[in-house]
C-alpha cells in the first residue's frame, strides 16, 4: 500500500470514543491550570487599570505604593520595548497604555508584592492623574462625523476617502451584478440588524507565572491557546530573543479564541525582570470582562432578492464591526462568511473595521461569522415567510456544492452543506408539532477552517508503545484524537499511546490552537509522523529478513513480508522491532513539519424551537438540533461536545449576553451575575447529528468542527423567536425588554 | 495585620493554618494548603468553580472567609475518590465526555455528589436547577446532566 493513501473507511480506532487521557487528572482536581503553578520566592502581580473610557494620562505617581511594605517592583510602559510597529505596537499598547487610556479597564501600571493582598493594596496607592477626553462606544456613533477620534492615522490604505478616522480598514468582495440580480427578483427584502459584543466567557481567568533574569533568559507558564505566539509576542514586547524564553502551556480552562493573544504575560515578565523573582498574575473576572477578549459589536444591512420559486437572484451585505480601540475587528470574515452557504450569481459584501473606546476585540469561535449569518439568515427566513416557501427547501435550492464559486472567491471542493440540510429535513425535530406560543427556526452557517504552522514528533519506546509530542494546546480533547489517529496508523491500541503538549523548547514552531485547526493540522502531522515511523519499522524488519524494504507491509502493528516474499517470514510485531532499535540503527521516531493547506470548509444546519412568554418577554429554548459536517469524526463524543458547546454559546449570545456600557463609557456588567451566560436550567438537551463528507485534504477526511457550531444559532433562534412572537426581531440579545418592545410595536 | 490561627479538617485530615482576616477559604485551600482542585472563576459566588462542602453543605469557598472554618469539616474535590478507586460520578463524567476543559468539573462534582446524597433519584429538571450555580462554558451541560442521571441510576441499583 502507498503510505500516502487517504483512508476514509474501515477504521479500527478512529470513530470510537475512548476515555480522555487527561480525564483522571481533571476529575480528581490534580490537573494544573494557569493559576495552579507556584514557584519558590514567587511574587504576586496586580494591575492598575483606567476607570475612564478615554483619558490622557497626565502623571503616574508610584511613590506611595513603592513605600508599602512587601512591594518589590512597579512597572509602567517605560519598562517595555520601544520602537515597535504594526501589530506588536497594538498588542503592547493594549496591555500597557502609553499616553492615553483608551477604554475602561485599560492597563496603566502594574505592581508585584509578596502577597496578593499587598499587591491589591498597592494598586490602590498608585496615583494616576487623568484628563478625561470625549469617548464613543457605539459602532454607528463611532463612524459619525462628530465622533471623537480614537487615534488619528490608524487607518490603512484600504479605507476610501471621506470616512471618519475611526474607520481603519475596509473590505469589498463578491461577483456578478447585484443591481441586475435584484431587478430579476419577485421580492426584495432589505433590513438592518445589530448585535452587541459578547465575551468568550471561559470559566478560567487569564493566569500566568513568569520568570525573567537580567541575562535575558526567561520561563513562562500560562493558560494559552498558543504558547509559541506567547513566546513571539512576549519576546518582542520585552526586547528578548525569542528562543531565550521558554513557554509552557498549562491545562487551559476554556479559550474559544480569547486566549490566542497576550494580556498579563508580558507584564509578569517585566515585573519579574525588575524584581529578580518569579511573578504570578491572575486576572479577576472583572478584569477578564473589562480588559480581555470580547467579540465585536455590529451594525449590518442585508438585502436579498428572491424569485417565487425560492431562487436567490442577488444578495448584498454591509457589515460594520467595532473592535475596540485598535484595528482588529474581523469584518472581512463576517463579509466573506455571510453568503458562503449559497450558490449566488450576483453577490456583494462590504465590511468596515471601526475603532471605539472599548477593549481590543479578540477572536471568538468563528470570529465574525455568527453575526453575518444572523442578518443574512433572518432575511432569507423573512423571504420564505412572505413567499410561503419551506425554509429548508429554499436553502437546498440555493445551497453551495462542489464546484460552486464561493461568495468570497474560491471554488468549493467537496463540501457537505446539502447533506446537512437533507439530514435536518429528515430529522423528526423538523416535523414535530409545536405548541401554542412556540416557533421554529432554521439557519445554516459556515466557517473556513484553517491549517497553519504545525510540528509533531512521534517517538517509539523500547516496549513498542508510542509518545506523540504536539504543540497545540488541547482545548477540546485533541490529545485523545491524536492518539486515535496514531493508533490507526501504527496498528497499536489507543491505550499504548500518550500524547503530550510540549513546551516551546521541545518542538518546532506551532501556530495557535485556533481556526478549528488542531484535529485537522496536528492530526495530519501526527498521521504523517506515524507513517514516517512505520517506514523505519518496515525497513528494520526488511534488514532483519534481508529483503527489499518496499516488500514489507505494515498490518495491525506488525511488519509483514509482501509481494514475492509473502508468507516467507512470521509477522514481526512492533514491540520486537522496538526492543532491538538500539542495535538495528538507533531510536525510531517520525516527525512532520509543514503548514498544511487542505483544511476543508465546514457547514452546519441548526433547528431550534423557542417559546416566548408574552407577559414577561422571556424566551425558553425548548428543543435544539445541530446538524454539522465533521468530514470524519475522529472521536464522535468530543465532536458532539463541540456541537453542543457552540449551540449553547449561541443561545447565550442570542438571548442574554451583552456588553452594557453606561453614558460614562464604563462597562456596567463586569461580573458573572450581570454578564449572564447560560446555566444548566436555561437549556434543553442539545441533539446532534454528525454528517461525514470527507475532506480530501486530510488523510482521514477530517474537517475542523470547533467553530462552525456557533455560526447558525443566532439566526436560527432569531427565526424561532420571530415566529413565536409574530414579529421580526432585528437586534441581539433578544432579552425580555427587547421582546416586549417588539410585541408592543406589533400590537 | 496579624494573622489568625485556624484548626479545621479537610477531607478528613486535621489541618492548621494561619491566615489574614481578609483571605477567603478558597485562598487558604489553594495558596496555603496546596489544594488547587477548587478553582476561582469569578470570586463573587456566581460560577461555582470553587464549590466545596462545609459540614456537608455545598458552599462557594470564595464567599467563606478562611477564619470562619475553625472547627468545621471541609470537603473538596481531592477527597471524592477513595484511594485509587474513583467515585462513580468521577468515572461517569469521564465515560460520558461530560468535561471538556475541565475547569468547572471539580465544583460540579462536589455539587452533584451532595445532590445525590440528598436526593438519589433526581429528575432532569432537579439536576439542572441544582447545578444552576455551576457555570460550564464548554459542554452546553447536555453530557453533564446525562452523566449525573446515569450515576444516580447506577448508585440506586447498587444500593
- Give the residue numbers spanning the domain of A537: 451-594
Confidence band for A5, pLDDT divided at 50, 70 and 90 = low
Alpha-carbon gap: A607 to the closest alpha carbon of chain B (Å): 16
Give the separation between CA A575 and CA B11, rounded to whole angstroms.
43
Domain count of chain B?
2
Residue A496 corresponds to which cell in the numbers above?
A: 499504548
Mutation to test the A interface, candidates B38, B142, B151, most A Cβ within 10 Å: B142
Give the separation between CA A157 and CA A174, rounded to whole angstroms.
20
- The verdict on a CB contact (< 8 Å) between A641 and B129 is no
Residue A631, in any domain of the structure: yes
Both A588 and A697 in one domain: the answer is: no
CB contacts, 8 Å: A476 with chain B: 100, 138
CB contacts, 8 Å: A24 with chain B: 86, 94
- At B61, which CATH number? 3.10.20.30
Both B42 and B107 in one domain: the answer is: no
Q: What is the pLDDT of residue B159?
A: 85
Cis peptide preceding A521, ω within 30 of 0: no
- The verdict on a CB contact (< 8 Å) between A645 and B141 is no
8-state DSSP, A484: H
Alpha-carbon gap: A655 to the closest alpha carbon of chain B (Å): 15
Mean pLDDT of A496-503: 98
Both B57 and B101 in one domain: the answer is: no
CB contacts, 8 Å: A26 with chain B: 99, 102, 105
* Closest B-chain CA to A24: B94
Residue A86, in any domain of the structure: no
Alpha-carbon gap: A364 to the closest alpha carbon of chain B (Å): 13
- The verdict on a CB contact (< 8 Å) between A31 and B102 is yes
Of B22, B23, B41, the CB nearest to A285: B41
Of the residues B79, B108, B138, which one is the last residue of a structural domain? B79
Residue A665 corresponds to which cell in the numbers above?
A: 463609557
Both B114 and B94 in one domain: the answer is: yes
Residue A322 corresponds to which cell in the numbers above?
A: 467595532
Both B138 and B95 in one domain: the answer is: yes
Both B101 and B55 in one domain: the answer is: no
Both A576 and A643 in one domain: the answer is: no
Helices (H), A339-491: 369-387, 391-398, 417-426, 428-431, 478-490
Residue A466, in any domain of the structure: yes
Q: Which residues, 6+ apart, have CB-to-CB distance to A190 below 8 Å? A: A301, A302, A303, A304, A379
Residue A94, in any domain of the structure: no
Q: What is the pLDDT of residue A2?
A: 39
- At B101, which CATH number? 1.10.150.120
B121 Cβ under 8 Å from any chain A Cβ = no
CB contacts, 8 Å: A17 with chain B: 97
Mutation to test the A interface, candidates B102, B126, B128, most A Cβ within 10 Å: B102
- The number of beta carbons lying within 10 Å of the beta carbon of residue A624 is 28
Both B68 and B124 in one domain: the answer is: no
Q: Which residues, 6+ apart, have CB-to-CB distance to A501 below 8 Å? A: A249, A470, A471, A472, A473, A474, A479
* Closest A-chain CA to B136: A203
Give the separation between CA A41 and CA A269, rounded to whole angstroms.
15
Of B39, B77, B80, the CB nearest to A204: B39
Task: Tell me: pLDDT of A18 over 80.
Answer: yes
B50 Cβ under 8 Å from any chain A Cβ = no
Distance from the Cα of residue A636 to its chain's centroid: 20
Confidence band for B114, pLDDT divided at 50, 70 and 90 = very high
Alpha-carbon gap: A639 to the closest alpha carbon of chain B (Å): 10
Both B73 and B40 in one domain: the answer is: yes
Confidence band for A4, pLDDT divided at 50, 70 and 90 = low
- At A578, which CATH number? 3.30.365.10
Both B114 and B58 in one domain: the answer is: no
Task: Provide the percentage of residues in chain A whose pLDDT is more than 90.
Answer: 97
Both B62 and B94 in one domain: the answer is: no
Burial category of A163 from C-beta neighbours within 10 Å (exposed 0-12, middle 13-18, buried 19 and up): middle
Of the residues B47, B62, B79, which one is the last residue of a structural domain? B79
Domain count of chain A?
2
Average pLDDT of chain A? 97
Mean pLDDT of A679-700: 97
Of A117, A673, A686, the CB nearest to B20: A117
Query: What are the tens digits of pLDDT across the range A195-238?
Result: 999 999 999 999 999 999 989 999 999 999 999 999 999 999 99
Alpha-carbon gap: A180 to the closest alpha carbon of chain B (Å): 45
Q: What is the pLDDT of residue A9?
A: 81
Query: What are the tens digits of pLDDT across the range A268-297?
Result: 999 999 999 999 999 999 999 999 999 999
Mutation to test the A interface, candidates B137, B144, B149, most A Cβ within 10 Å: B137
CA angle A285, A200, A651 (to 5 degrees): 115
CB contacts, 8 Å: B77 with chain A: 27-29
Both A552 and A471 in one domain: the answer is: yes
Both A575 and A622 in one domain: the answer is: no
Task: ipTM value, please give it.
Answer: 0.98
Mean pLDDT of A123-140: 98
Query: What are the tens digits of pLDDT across the range A523-551?
Result: 999 999 999 999 999 999 999 999 999 99
B11 Cβ under 8 Å from any chain A Cβ = no
Query: What are the tens digits of pLDDT across the range B51-81?
Result: 999 999 999 999 999 999 999 999 999 999 9
- The number of beta carbons lying within 10 Å of the beta carbon of residue A651 is 28
Nearest to A24 by CA among B53, B18, B121, B95: B95
- Give the residue numbers spanning the domain of B106: 88-158
Q: 3-class DSSP state for residue B53?
A: strand
Amino acid at each position: 500500500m502507498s503510505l500516502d493513501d487517504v483512508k476514509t473507511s474501515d477504521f479500527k480506532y478512529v470513530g470510537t470514543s475512548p476515555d480522555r487521557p487527561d480525564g483522571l487528572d481533571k476529575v480528581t482536581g490534580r490537573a494544573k491550570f494557569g493559576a495552579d503553578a507556584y514557584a519558590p520566592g514567587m511574587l504576586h502581580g496586580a494591575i492598575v487599570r483606567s476607570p475612564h473610557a478615554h483619558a490622557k494620562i497626565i502623571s503616574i505617581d508610584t511613590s506611595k505604593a513603592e513605600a508599602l511594605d512587601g512591594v518589590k517592583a512597579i512597572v509602567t510602559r517605560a519598562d517595555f520595548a520601544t520602537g515597535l510597529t504594526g501589530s506588536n505596537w497594538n498588542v503592547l499598547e493594549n496591555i500597557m497604555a502609553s499616553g492615553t487610556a483608551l477604554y475602561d479597564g485599560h492597563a496603566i501600571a502594574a505592581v508585584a508584592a509578596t502577597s496578593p493582598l499587598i499587591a491589591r493594596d498597592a494598586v490602590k496607592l498608585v496615583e494616576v492623574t487623568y484628563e478625561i477626553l470625549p469617548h464613543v462606544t457605539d459602532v454607528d456613533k463611532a463612524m459619525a462625523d462628530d465622533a471623537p477620534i480614537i487615534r488619528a492615522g490608524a487607518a490603512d490604505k484600504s479605507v476610501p476617502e471621506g470616512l471618519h478616522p475611526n474607520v481603519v480598514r475596509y473590505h469589498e468582495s463578491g461577483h456578478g451584478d447585484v443591481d441586475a440580480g435584484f431587478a430579476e427578483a419577485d421580492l426584495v427584502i432589505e433590513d438592518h440588524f445589530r448585535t452587541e459584543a459578547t465575551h468568550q466567557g471561559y470559566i478560567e481567568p487569564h493566569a500566568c507565572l513568569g520568570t525573567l533574569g537580567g541575562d535575558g533568559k526567561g520561563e513562562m507558564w500560562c493558560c494559552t491557546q498558543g504558547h509559541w505566539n506567547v513566546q513571539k509576542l512576549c519576546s518582542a514586547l520585552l526586547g528578548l530573543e525569542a528562543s531565550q524564553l521558554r513557554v509552557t502551556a498549562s491545562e487551559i480552562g476554556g479559550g474559544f479564541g480569547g486566549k490566542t493573544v497576550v494580556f498579563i504575560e508580558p507584564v509578569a515578565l517585566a515585573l519579574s525582570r525588575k524584581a529578580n523573582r518569579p511573578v504570578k498574575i491572575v486576572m479577576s473576572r472583572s478584569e477578564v470582562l473589562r480588559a480581555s477578549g470580547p467579540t465585536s459589536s455590529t451594525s449590518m444591512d442585508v438585502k436579498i432578492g428572491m424569485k417565487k420559486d425560492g431562487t436567490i437572484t442577488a444578495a448584498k451585505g454591509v457589515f460594520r464591526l467595532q473592535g475596540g480601540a485598535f484595528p482588529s475587528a474581523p469584518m472581512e470574515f463576517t463579509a466573506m462568511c455571510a453568503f458562503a452557504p449559497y450558490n449566488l450569481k450576483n453577490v456583494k459584501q462590504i465590511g468596515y473595521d471601526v475603532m471605539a473606546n472599548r477593549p481590543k476585540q479578540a477572536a471568538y469561535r468563528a470570529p465574525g461569522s455568527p453575526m453575518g449569518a444572523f442578518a443574512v439568515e433572518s432575511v432569507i427566513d423573512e423571504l420564505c415567510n412572505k413567499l410561503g416557501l419551506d425554509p429548508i427547501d429554499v436553502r437546498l435550492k440555493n445551497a453551495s456544492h462542489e464546484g460552486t464559486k464561493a461568495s468570497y472567491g474560491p471554488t468549493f471542493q467537496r463540501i457537505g452543506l446539502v447533506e446537512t440540510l437533507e439530514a435536518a429535513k429528515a430529522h423528526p425535530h423538523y416535523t414535530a408539532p409545536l405548541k401554542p406560543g412556540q416557533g421554529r427556526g432554521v439557519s445554516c452557517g459556515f466557517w473556513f477552517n484553517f491549517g497553519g504552522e504545525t510540528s509533531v514528533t512521534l517517538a517509539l519506546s523500547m516496549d513498542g508503545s508510542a509518545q506523540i509530542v504536539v504543540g497545540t494546546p488541547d482545548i477540546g480533547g485533541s490529545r485523545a484524537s491524536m492518539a486515535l489517529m496514531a493508533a490507526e496508523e501504527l496498528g497499536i491500541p489507543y491505550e499504548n499511546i500518550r500524547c503530550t503538549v510540549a513546551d516551546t523548547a521541545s518542538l518546532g514552531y506551532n501556530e495557535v490552537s485556533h481556526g478549528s485547526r488542531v484535529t485537522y493540522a496536528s492530526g495530519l502531522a501526527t498521521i504523517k509522523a506515524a507513517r514516517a515511523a512505520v517506514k523505519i519499522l518496515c525497513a528494520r524488519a526488511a534488514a532483519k529478513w534481508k529483503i527489499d524494504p518496499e516488500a514489507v507491509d505494515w498490518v495491525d502493528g506488525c511488519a509483514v513480508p509482501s509481494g514475492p516474499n509473502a508468507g516467507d517470514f512470521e509477522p514481526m510485531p512492533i514491540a520486537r522491532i522496538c526492543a532491538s532499535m538500539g542495535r538495528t540503527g538507533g531510536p525510531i521516531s517520525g516527525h512532520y513539519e509543514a503548514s498544511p493547506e487542505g483544511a476543508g470548509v465546514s457547514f452546519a444546519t441548526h433547528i431550534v424551537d423557542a417559546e416566548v412568554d408574552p407577559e414577561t418577554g422571556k424566551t425558553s429554548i425548548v428543543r435544539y438540533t445541530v446538524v454539522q459536517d465533521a468530514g470524519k469524526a475522529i472521536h464522535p463524543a468530543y465532536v458532539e461536545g463541540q456541537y453542543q458547546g457552540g449551540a449553547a454559546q449561541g443561545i447565550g449570545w442570542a438571548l442574554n449576553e451583552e456588553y452594557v456600557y453606561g453614558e460614562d463609557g464604563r462597562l456596567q456588567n463586569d461580573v458573572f451575575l450581570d454578564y449572564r451566560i447560560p446555566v444548566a436550567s436555561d437549556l434543553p438537551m442539545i441533539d446532534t447529528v454528525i454528517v461525514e463528507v470527507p475532506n480530501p485534504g486530510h488523510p482521514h477526511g477530517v474537517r475542523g468542527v470547533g467553530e462552525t457550531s456557533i455560526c447558525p444559532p443566532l439566526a436560527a433562534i432569531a427565526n424561532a423567536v420571530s415566529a413565536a412572537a409574530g414579529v421580526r426581531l432585528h437586534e441581539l440579545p433578544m432579552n425580555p425588554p427587547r421582546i416586549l418592545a417588539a410585541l408592543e410595536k406589533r400590537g | 495585620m496579624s494573622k489568625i490561627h485556624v484548626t479545621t479538617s479537610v477531607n478528613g485530615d486535621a489541618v492548621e493554618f494561619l491566615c489574614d482576616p481578609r483571605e477567603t477559604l478558597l485562598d487558604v485551600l489553594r495558596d496555603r494548603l496546596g489544594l488547587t482542585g477548587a478553582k476561582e472563576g469569578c470570586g463573587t459566588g456566581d460560577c461555582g468553580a470553587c464549590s466545596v462542602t462545609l459540614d456537608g453543605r455545598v458552599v462557594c469557598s470564595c464567599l467563606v472567609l478562611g477564619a470562619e472554618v475553625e472547627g468545621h469539616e471541609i470537603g473538596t474535590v481531592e477527597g471524592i475518590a477513595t484511594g485509587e478507586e474513583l467515585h462513580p460520578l468521577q468515572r461517569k463524567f469521564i465515560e460520558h465526555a461530560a468535561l471538556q476543559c475541565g475547569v468547572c468539573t471539580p465544583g460540579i462534582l462536589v455539587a452533584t455528589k451532595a445532590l445525590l446524597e440528598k436526593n438519589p433519584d433526581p429528575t432532569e429538571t432537579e439536576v439542572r436547577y441544582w447545578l444552576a450555580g455551576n457555570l460550564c462554558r464548554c459542554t452546553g451541560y447536555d453530557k453533564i446532566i446525562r452523566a449525573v442521571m446515569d450515576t444516580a441510576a447506577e448508585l440506586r441499583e447498587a444500593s
